[in-house]
Amino acid sequence: MPQFRTLRGMRDFLPKDAKKMRYVEVVARDLARLYGYGEIITPVVEHYDILAAKSGEEIRERMYAFTDMGGRRVALRPEFTASIARLVATKMRHEPKPMKLFCAGSLYRYDEPQHGRFREFWQANYELIGSSKPEADAEILTLTYDLIERLGFRNYWVKIGHVGILRGILAQEGIAEEQQNTIMQLLDKKRLDEALTVTRESGASQSCVATLKKLLETRGKDVFQVLKETKRVVEDYESAVAAVENLREILELTRESGVKFETLIEAGFARGLEYYTGMIFESCVPEFEIALAGGGRYDKLIELFGGEPTPALGVAQGIDRLVLAMKKQKVSPKVPEENKVMIIPVGEELKTKAFELSLKLRNTKIPAEVEMMGRTVSKALSDADRRRVTHAVIVGPEELREERVVLRDMKKRKQRVVEIQNLSKEILRGPN
Ligand code: HAM
């Protein structure tokens, strides 16, 4: 017996909801244009190994993975970054740097569905490839801020950390990368005690564990004060100190260029993905415990796919969560009211004329539909009201004889007879 509903975690978007998703996507795409990011389109299905490499245990375990009819191990993409790293390592390897790439589309993770967490979701993703400079990190942070501002959010903050702080400490203690990954995953899930136990069991010194404990408490919104404190906590670990310095430089640059978002620095912040090597961040709103966007620097991923060693970083904005958060913060899309015209022929023989007029209106960029349910004029007008049509054009035999039609403003409930040749102009002009 078939079940006539969507699979768990999958959704249909009806026109009202689809419009909101597309609105965010359009704003995100416009931002890409303004920052010089060229759009690319990559396949939804890729080799499992490409998507799994360095994605981290959590994502790996939740991939929609299967064997295709050709016997290949494949998966639905759980994110864009791996596909982009593949492209940069292969077809785009000779492109001049920096390379700026944008993509938007659907992604798949077998996550436990809950508010803001779906099995099919959408991201607007930006990757900046080829620069190891703090300018690149500052641009990605600026872009993240810019999108949230353009969408009209009033209350949000960006949580920032640096993978180099924790990894610097663990590496200096001689902890292997695999164990480092386990520790980072536990920290990402906020299982702090377990993370400290694994660190201890991996052979870290007493003072290392004490440093980590202190680090996990080092957080706050007074950015430069927190960074100073962090530097003091990690002073015995050279590359961790360098990571703090790198973060300071990035944030100075971002601040000085006029980007003013509330920043929460978390020295012990970790993200689920394994490929990060530098600054990492997430944007948050008080209405959600989960992030709206996430990103960071991944300087080793492209060489893993056989490319030249290439520094890179990026951010993915979760379109679904942005739409949900806009609703919670009562932020409405900034789209100008558009005219919407319904052409109503009075009688069968005027259908052709109605179609002809609709084509003419659309050619002048005015959205126009023709009544096609065979309704009487009064029924057609009440249907037009229900559909929030702004203007009705009534095509009647008498007016038509003089090349005229009746134009009705649906909101003001006023109508007048206008020359067909002036119809578009009259619609754009509004009522008398
Ligand atoms: P991510 O943190 O896994 O990072 O995902 C980024 C955003 O995608 C999240 O902040 C969230 O808005 C959205 N998202 C993730 N999973 C779900 C879900 N199950 N349901 C709804 N929305 C979800 C990445 O994907 C990295 N590729 C980001 C990146 C780009 N790093 C460097 N470049």
pLDDT tens by residue, 75-132: 999 999 999 999 999 999 999 999 999 999 999 999 999 999 999 999 999 999 999 9
**CA dist., res. 341 & res. 393, Å (int):** 7
Compute the average pLDDT of residues 338-362: 96
* Residue 227 CA to ligand 1 centre (angstroms): 26
Ligand 1 proximal residues by C-beta, below 6 Å: 79-81, 109, 111, 117-118, 121, 123, 125, 127, 273, 291-296, 298, 314-316, 318, 320-321
Q: Which three-class secondary structure state does DSSP give residue 279?
A: strand
Q: Out of 47-56, 315-324, 358-367, 392-401, pick the least confident.
A: 47-56
* Residue 317 CA to ligand 1 centre (angstroms): 7
Q: How far is CA 277 from CA 129, 242, 336, in A?
A: 14, 13, 43
Across the chain, mean pLDDT equals 95
pLDDT confidence bin for 431, thresholds 50/70/90: low
What local confidence, expressed as pLDDT, does residue 55 receive?
Answer: 86
Closest-lying ligand 1 atom to the alpha carbon of residue 127: 33
* Residue 17 CA to ligand 1 centre (angstroms): 20
pLDDT confidence bin for 333, thresholds 50/70/90: confident
Other Cβ atoms within 10 Å of 300 Cβ, number? 16
Other Cβ atoms within 10 Å of 237 Cβ, number? 21
pLDDT confidence bin for 430, thresholds 50/70/90: low
Compute the average pLDDT of residues 368-373: 96
Residue 336 has pLDDT above 90, yes or no: no
What local confidence, expressed as pLDDT, does residue 3 receive?
Answer: 78
3-state secondary structure 179-239: HHHHHHHHHHCCCHHHHHHHHHHCCCCHHHHHHHHHHHHCEECCHHHHHHHHHHHCCCCHH
Compute the average pLDDT of residues 262-269: 92
Residue 2 has pLDDT above 80, yes or no: no
Please name the residues in contact with 61: beta carbons below 8 A apart, sequence gap of 6 or more: none
Residue 432 has pLDDT above 60, yes or no: no
What local confidence, expressed as pLDDT, does residue 268 receive?
Answer: 87
Name the residue ranges covered by the structural domains of the chain.
Answer: 15-328, 341-429
Q: Which three-class secondary structure state does DSSP give residue 367?
A: coil
What local confidence, expressed as pLDDT, does residue 395 receive?
Answer: 98
pLDDT over 70 for what percent of the chain?
99
pLDDT confidence bin for 324, thresholds 50/70/90: very high
Nearest CA to ligand 1 atom 20: 117
What local confidence, expressed as pLDDT, does residue 289 receive?
Answer: 86
**CA dist., res. 275 & res. 272, Å (int):** 9
pLDDT confidence bin for 272, thresholds 50/70/90: confident
**CA dist., res. 155 & res. 146, Å (int):** 14
Domain 15-328 belongs to what topology? Answer: BirA Bifunctional Protein; domain 2 (3.30.930)
**CA dist., res. 160 & res. 174, Å (int):** 26
First to last CA, the chain: 60
What local confidence, expressed as pLDDT, does residue 429 receive?
Answer: 86
* Residue 73 CA to ligand 1 centre (angstroms): 23
Compute the average pLDDT of residues 208-214: 93
Sign of the Cα torsion 83, 86, 90, 94 reads positive
**CA dist., res. 408 & res. 423, Å (int):** 11
pLDDT digits (tens, 9 = 90+) for 377-422: 999 999 999 999 999 999 999 999 999 999 999 999 999 999 999 9
* Residue 158 CA to ligand 1 centre (angstroms): 15
Q: Which CATH superfamily is domain 341-429 in?
A: Anticodon-binding domain (3.40.50.800)
**DSSP output for 9-43:** T-----HHHHHHHHHHHHHHHHHHHHHTPEE----
pLDDT over 90 for what percent of the chain?
91
Residue 1 has pLDDT above 80, yes or no: no
pTM of the model: 0.94
Q: Out of 22-26, 286-290, 308-312, pick the least confident.
A: 286-290
Q: How far is CA 49 from CA 73, 119, 221, in A?
A: 8, 20, 39
Alpha helices (runs of H) in 9-162, residue ranges in sequence order: 15-35, 48-52, 57-61, 81-89, 134-151
Compute the average pLDDT of residues 353-373: 97
